[in-house]
Amino acid sequence: MPVRMCVVCRGRFEKAELSRVICGGDGEIRLDKTGKAQCRGAYICGECLGTAQKKRALERVFKRRVEPEVYERIIREAEEN
Contact residues for Zn ion (CB under 5 A)? 6, 8-9, 45, 48
CB of 48 to Zn ion, least distance (A): 3
CB of 10 to Zn ion, least distance (A): 7
Of 6 and 31, which CB lies nearer to Zn ion in the complex structure? 6
Of 25 and 59, which CB lies nearer to Zn ion in the complex structure? 59
Nearest of 13, 71, 2 to residue 46 by alpha carbon: 13
Distance CA 35, CA 37 (A): 6
Helix (H, G, I), strand (E, B) or coil at 39: coil
Nearest of 31, 28, 56 to residue 43 by alpha carbon: 31
CB of 81 to Zn ion, least distance (A): 16
